[in-house]
Structure 1
Amino acid sequence: MGSHAAPHHLRPPFLLVSVTVVLVAAFLWLPRADGAPARTDACGSTAVRLPRGDCGPFWQVLAEDFNGDLVPLGSFSDCDHHADTSGAYFGGLRGTFRDNWWAYPTGWPDTARSRGREVVGVYHPEDTVSVGPAPDGDGRMFIRMWRPADGGPVHSAAVVPRAVMDMTYGKYSARIKVTKAAPGYKSAWLHYGGGCEMDHPEGEWTGPLSSFHHPCGGGEQGYFPGSDDWTDWHTVSTEWTPGHVRFFVDGRETGHDTRGVPDGPLSWVMQNESALEGPGAAPGSSAQIDITWVAAYAYGWK
């Protein structure tokens, strides 16, 4: 089941130069254990480390590994400036993080409210999102969602890489792990708008990691299971090209759809929120996802 923060639509225009590209050479084929061919992503690897450089028809516009960075809680604040446009920014951030990141502003409701869930969430990037070293020294973005002990709404977080806001087509990749799981928390990283929606990865953090495609103009959603466990490290990628959307987990294609694929500008929303299925988050509970790198690409020639 796909999800999005229904009241907010990402629609400003974006001009992207497109050319005819021969895609056959852009994708490598690797044998599966059963001997059948399996399509890998355009970078041709599982990309455990941050990939740098262009891949097939995609040229890299963002490469962030968070190493050496320290952005404490409270910094992702004052973000309701030019909201939902490529000019959006955080008043509380400085330097490259102000240039590269935005988030849904404090007070916007998450998807659970529009679905009538008993436990709902409200976006609070200022007290859920930070950047710093893990115990092993690896630089990460930490997204720790939590529900107050008094039983109030879940504090959710939806972060948005500014380099690929309002962009048509592209490749979107990250390496992620839920380092603390609890019932009632989920992710739905998505592109949506104008009746179109592509969700990858999506799922409650205590369940399977999956993908969904909701064709533009309606029709049966595409559902693609990808991994059984959010609490392992996974490299997730979405490749969106004219007439095609492909989903990858650890370099392996887990889904492909050609029905009603968007052909206009959308933004990549790394949305994390209260659950839409199963039990709601318990009062006083918390859960966390770590992101060790993010890479994003435009489609076509430079």
Structure 2
Amino acid sequence: MGSHAAPNGRKRALPASMGLVLLAAVLGIPRADGAAGEDGAADACRATGTELPRGDCGPFWQVLAEDFNGDRVPLGRFSDCDHAVDTSAAYCGGLRGAYRDNWWAYPTGWRDTANDRGRQVVGVYHPEDTVSVGPAENGDGRMFIRMWRPADGGPVHAAAVVPRAVMQMKYGKYSARIKVTELAPGYKSAWLHYGGGCEMDHPEGEWTGDLTAFHHPCGGGEQGYFPGSEDWTRWHTVSTEWTPGHVRFFVDGRQVGHDTREVPRQPLSWVLQNESALQGPGAAPGSSAQLDITWVAAYAYDWK
């Protein structure tokens, strides 16, 4: 379950620990309404392929479609991000053009979730030396999230990027195609919407484990836990569909989770959060790991 803690120690309370998650899995405690693959439900946009989906679908209208095939963003440009933080006016002063308009990142110095979990290895956000955009070896445009730990054993350099078009938006659909292309123990993702005692996490998990989804009902209560079997080192299309009274999670177009309990009803931001591990071994000194994102698409909810 993700979060961030700013330098002043600000953080949000977590409704359950990973230990409770594992206990629930072992004891077979019910997870939520709607088990994996319920009624054969499918992603509203049928987004399962390699190509960026374009256009509206179902009750959603597209507000962001990024395949990273345009301008390059070298390391160092995701800097000076401490402007109007956590609001739709947030921006990174080091970015230019469309990327400055469309993207924000947690500023340098913010602490990751591991700092509040008693982990021996923790992380600090450093977008300036972890996030870049450019072509892969095959020419495919990608956003690269390369986290690393200094050889001297300091904190992991973590990265959380935020699409500005859907900051503080109520309901919507959020999709991306991702793959861990460089694997090492001690690194994870928790892409999330959270705030006001509510939280939806998808995808989440240590990169050496399984890709999983969680829903923490607003105000507390038993979390919705939707374990996955997908390998982070294969390409997957991940989607969250958030509508009044419902949150649904999809992997490669297949519904893997659905919850209706205390679903958020207030605007929240979509945070593509990547950080140091909360389970298992910490990142070794001098190690690194990388997540590639080949496209991101986001949609507002049509209230008609």
> Aligned match of 2:75 in 73, 76, 83?
73
> Aligned match of 1:245 in 244, 247, 271?
247
Does structure 2 conserve the Cα–Cα contact (< 8 Å) formed by 1:215 and 1:261? yes
Matches within 5 A, 1:198-237: 198-237=200-239
Query: Which AA in structure 2 matches 1:52?
Result: R
Residue-by-residue CA offset, 1:53-74 (whole Å, 9 max, x unaligned): 0011100000000013211000
- Runs (4+) of structure 1 moved beyond 6 Å? none
RMSD: 1.3
**Residue of structure 1 equivalent to 2:160:** 158
**Residue of structure 1 equivalent to 2:121:** 119
Report the Cα distance in structure 2 between the residues aligned to 1:195 and 1:218, rounded to whole angstroms.
7
**Residue of structure 1 equivalent to 2:4:** 5
Shift of 1:8: 5.3
Query: Which AA in structure 2 matches 1:214?
Result: H
The count of aligned residue pairs is 276
**Residue of structure 2 equivalent to 1:297:** 299
Does structure 1 conserve the Cα–Cα contact (< 8 Å) formed by 2:177 and 2:296? yes
Does structure 2 conserve the Cα–Cα contact (< 8 Å) formed by 1:190 and 1:200? yes
Matches within 5 A, 1:157-176: 157-176=159-178
Matched, 1:190 2:189: no
Does structure 2 conserve the Cα–Cα contact (< 8 Å) formed by 1:66 and 1:139? yes
Question: Could you list the runs of 5+ residues in structure 1 that have no partner in the other structure?
Answer: 10-31
SS at match of 1:227: coil
Shift of 1:75: 0.4
Matches within 5 A, 1:15-164: 37-164=39-166
Does structure 2 conserve the Cα–Cα contact (< 8 Å) formed by 1:191 and 1:267? yes
Residue-by-residue CA offset, 1:23-74 (whole Å, 9 max, x unaligned): xxxxxxxxx8xxx941111012414210000011100000000013211000
Report the Cα distance in structure 2 between the residues aligned to 1:248 and 1:225, rounded to whole angstroms.
12
SS at match of 2:194: strand
Does structure 2 conserve the Cα–Cα contact (< 8 Å) formed by 1:226 and 1:249? no
TM-score by length of 2: 0.89
Question: Could you list the runs of 5+ residues in structure 2 that have no partner in the other structure?
Answer: 13-36
Change (3 A) 1:111 1:56: same
Name the % identity. Answer: 82
